[in-house]
Structures are given as C-alpha cells and as structure tokens.
Structure 1
Amino acid sequence: MLRELEGKVALVTGGAGAIGAAVTEALARAGATVICADKVMPSAHAEQASVHPAQLDVTSQEDSVRLVADIVARHGALDILVNAAGVVSFGSAATLAESEWDRVLDINLKGVFLACQAAMAPMKANGFGRIVNIGSVVGKNAGNARPWLDAAEQARAGNVAYGVSKAGVHMLTLFLAKELAAHGVSVNAVAPGPIATSMTSGFPDALRALIPAGRMGTPADVARAALFLCAPDNGFVTGEILDVNGGMYCD
C-alpha cells in the first residue's frame, strides 16, 4: 500500500469505537503516527508501533487542549484530526427527554467543535492540516423512519437528537472549511449511511431493504473515505460532505 501519510501525525477521537478503530488502522497503514483517543483508553491496534492510545473526554475543553498540546510536544506537529467520537440515540421529538438531548449534543457536536478548536492553532502554524468529521446520512435526510407508513418504525428508529447533532457537525464543517482554507487546512466530513456495528444491530429490516447497494456499510467503507480526505495532495477538496451510504440518499 502507498504510504502517503508517512511522517504525518494524526489524532482520531472515538478510537475505541468500530469506525474510529477502522480509521486508526487505515491511517497507520498509510504511514501516519496515530494517537487513538477515547474516554476509556483504547486497546492496542494491529499497527502497534505507530498507534498510541490516549484518554480523552471530548466534552471537556481542558482535555482536548491538553491532549493536542501533548501530541505537539511529543511528535512535533498535529497534521490530521478525525473526529469519530459519538453516541447513538433513539427517540422521537415527542418523547425525547431533555437530558438525552443534552447528552447527545454535548458529545456529538460540542465534542467535535472542541477538538477542532484545539487542533486549529498547530495546523495553522504549520500551514497544513486535514480535519475530517464523521457526520451521518441522518443529518441530511431527517432520519430513516417513515411514521406515516409505519408508526412502529418511528418507535424503533426515530433519532431526532442524533440527527440534529450530525446536521450540526455538517454545518460546523462548512464554517471551518472557509475559516481555515487560507492556512492550508482542509475540513471535510464523511456522512455514513447505516453501518453494521454492534450499535446498529437493531436496525429494522424494512429500512435495511431500502439501501440500493443491498447491504449495510462497514467501518472500512467509512475509513477509506476518511483516508481519501486526509491525503496531503487533496488540499483543494474542502467543505465537502462525502456520502458513504450505498445510494440510500443522494444529493
């Protein structure tokens, strides 16, 4: 494999999750030194020599600033940030508890903002950076459930807080792309459709059948898209929200 990220230093948040782990391994195979961070210290990855686990609470500004400063001190730079930290949530607008709304927005949106904010200064100082945020098709299509056809789908698959948080991630991506473009820093997002992980084991079969590709996605599908956006020669692609959904939603 072409090691196009040789010499680059990357931070992946949510590294203990399925998508974060896949992104971590893809970046490491491409030659990057990867700091794989999560609230609970991630276990070792296959590319142990170039993957370094770290603890990070993405909802804490102090934690994000501390970790980025430590990365720069130890490795000399922070070239790549992939924000994969996030939580799933289910519930319609009519039934969602305020505490659940706050929890999801705090992790999925505020957490991305804080990591990006902490990473901006060292990237701007070096005149280079790649930021990739993990969004979601649900942040574009207002959710997969069709309650006008089947009320039970809303009960099983309604996820208003999650969708709003990911729509916020998409918009944050666009704002940062404009703010950082002149500094050599590209900011993009990957918007996955349903990805087969332990968190989506209850995805309704009726909705699974609506995916034109005939299958759910895999963490590797998302990782390949993120790797493309992290390439050093890909700086002219910025402000893009790249759909990885098997044709489930096209725009």
Structure 2
Amino acid sequence: MTDASGQSFLVVGASGALGSRIARGLADAGATVSAHGRSDESLARLDLDGAHRLTGDLRQPALPQQLVDAATQRHGRLDGVVYAAGVVAFGPAARLDDDTLDDLTLLDFLAPVRLVRAALGVLGPGGVVAALTGVPAERPFPNMAAYGATKAALSSYLTAVRVESRRSKVRVLDLRPPHTETGLATRAIAGDPPSMPTGLEPDAVAARCVAAILGTDTEVASGDFG
C-alpha cells in the first residue's frame, strides 16, 4: 500500500462498516485521520488510536463545511476527504413518503455534494475527494428507485467535478462497490430489503477503496471489486 505518512484525511461516516475500515486502512498507511460519526457512542467503537473524532447530523447544511474546517485546523492541512456515510430505503416508488425521500436526498446526495464543495476550498495539488456511490449508480433496481437516483446523481456530479478539478490537480474518485455485507440493508429507514445473494466481505471492499484513495484511480466500478 502507498505510504501516506504526513498526509491527513477526513473520513465522513467513519462509524460505519466500510467507513471504519477505510479510516483504519488510511491510518495503517501512516495518515492522520479525522473520523466523523453520528454520535460519540458510535465513534467509541472505532478501533483507531489517536483519531480526531467529530460528530454531527449530516442533514444539517452547515456540517460538511464545519467538518472540513475542523479537520484542517486540527492537522494544519488536509490531503483527502472520503464520504462513506448514507442511508437506504426500500419499497415501491408510489409509496415513498416525503420524510424518507428527504432523508435519502439529504444524506446520499446533498451532504456529499456539500462536503466536496467544502473540500475543494482547501485541498491543494495532489489532494483527493472520494465518495462511495455503489452499484446503484450504474444501474437502477426496482423498489430502490429514489435511493438509486441519489447515487446516480452523486456519480454524475463527481464526473463533472473531476473535469473541473483538473487545473487544480485535485483528484475526484467515484467508488462503486457492489452489494457488501455491511448490514446497511437491515438498517433501512423504510421498507424491507429484498432477498439478495451474499455480498462481498467488507474488509476486501475497504482495502480496495483505500488502495484507490492512495493511488491514482478516478473511479472503481462495481466489477473492479472482484
């Protein structure tokens, strides 16, 4: 793995199954890490000595900027930002209520967009912005219409920002892992998950994500996770 000594990263959603592993992988590579989670309690389970712990509700518009500012101030610099948070909902599109739609949009699209916007204000040449969009960004699934739409929208946004960021030499990375055994489906904010085949192991998916973050990739498609 590439040596990340001297670099600092902000991982948003670091209390989750993939976010925690990505944060740990970056730290193992030598980076200093600011780790965001929903609460102190959720971050307490993060096995990461010395991590700068940050909390907050990503539905609040000001939080992404506050996280970037806090991480930059803590470490004196910021070399990368990773968005690994999000929620999922299941069920027919006709039955999707407004509260669920709002949360999907806020957490799976608007929060990462706001984070990217904030990060671009501080990242210098060689910096990286990464977000997990997932396989729904590549193809839509029934009973996941709104969830998939937010992921596709985020992927489209990242593609455009990647072109915009060429001059500043900030790399924009779209990570699209296939179904992974993170337990996210069992914590859906609405509906019941469909029957799905066994997903990939989180350790392997996170390791591929870390390699991409520290490498030169600009996207890792679902088929590239093995």
Could you tell me whether the CA contact under 8 Å between 2:12 and 2:83 is conserved in 1? yes
Q: Which runs of 5+ in 1 are unaligned?
A: 146-157, 209-214
Is 1:243 the equivalent of 2:222? yes
User: Residues 199-238 of structure 1: matches in 2 within 5 Å?
Assistant: 199-201=184-186, 204-205=194-195, 207-208=196-197, 215-231=198-214, 234=216, 237-238=217-218
1:241 CA displacement: 4.4
* CA offsets 1:84-110 (integer angstroms, 9 cap, x no match): 110011122122112211110111100
For residues 96 and 204 of structure 1, the distance between their equivalents in structure 2, rounded to whole angstroms, comes to: 16
Instruction: Report the equivalent of 2:103.
Output: 103
* CA offsets 1:133-182 (integer angstroms, 9 cap, x no match): 10121222211x5xxxxxxxxxxxx2112111111111111011111122
Instruction: Report the equivalent of 2:189.
Output: none
Instruction: Report the equivalent of 1:134.
Output: 132
Instruction: Report the equivalent of 2:157.
Output: 172
Q: Which secondary structure does the structure 1 equivalent of 2:175 belong to?
A: strand
* CA offsets 1:42-95 (integer angstroms, 9 cap, x no match): 12533313x221113223332222221122122111111110110011122122
For residues 61 and 128 of structure 1, the distance between their equivalents in structure 2, rounded to whole angstroms, comes to: 27
For residues 32 and 221 of structure 1, the distance between their equivalents in structure 2, rounded to whole angstroms, comes to: 20
User: Which amino acid counterpart does residue 130 of structure 1 have in structure 2?
Assistant: V
User: Residues 160-199 of structure 1: matches in 2 within 5 Å?
Assistant: 160-199=145-184
1:128 CA displacement: 2.5
Q: Which runs of 5+ in 2 are unaligned?
A: 187-191
1:14 CA displacement: 0.9
For residues 89 and 53 of structure 1, the distance between their equivalents in structure 2, rounded to whole angstroms, comes to: 28
Could you tell me whether the CA contact under 8 Å between 1:58 and 1:115 is conserved in 2? no
Q: 1:113 to 1:135 in 2, by over 3 A?
A: same
1:8 CA displacement: 0.8
User: Which amino acid counterpart does residue 138 of structure 1 have in structure 2?
Assistant: P
Could you tell me whether the CA contact under 8 Å between 1:36 and 1:53 is conserved in 2? yes
1:4 CA displacement: 1.1
For residues 176 and 12 of structure 1, the distance between their equivalents in structure 2, rounded to whole angstroms, comes to: 19
Q: Name the % identity.
A: 26
Is 1:45 the equivalent of 2:46? yes
Q: Which secondary structure does the structure 2 equivalent of 1:133 belong to?
A: strand
For residues 181 and 221 of structure 1, the distance between their equivalents in structure 2, rounded to whole angstroms, comes to: 30
Is 1:17 the equivalent of 2:16? yes
Could you tell me whether the CA contact under 8 Å between 1:79 and 1:129 is conserved in 2? yes
C-alpha RMSD of matched pairs (Å): 2.0
Could you tell me whether the CA contact under 8 Å between 1:86 and 1:107 is conserved in 2? yes
For residues 39 and 97 of structure 1, the distance between their equivalents in structure 2, rounded to whole angstroms, comes to: 23
Larger Rg: 1 or 2? 1
TM-score (norm 2): 0.88
For residues 223 and 70 of structure 2, the distance between their equivalents in structure 1, rounded to whole angstroms, comes to: 33
Is 1:30 the equivalent of 2:34? no
Structure ranking higher on relative contact order (CA contacts 8 Å, 6+ apart): 2
Could you tell me whether the CA contact under 8 Å between 1:19 and 1:219 is conserved in 2? yes
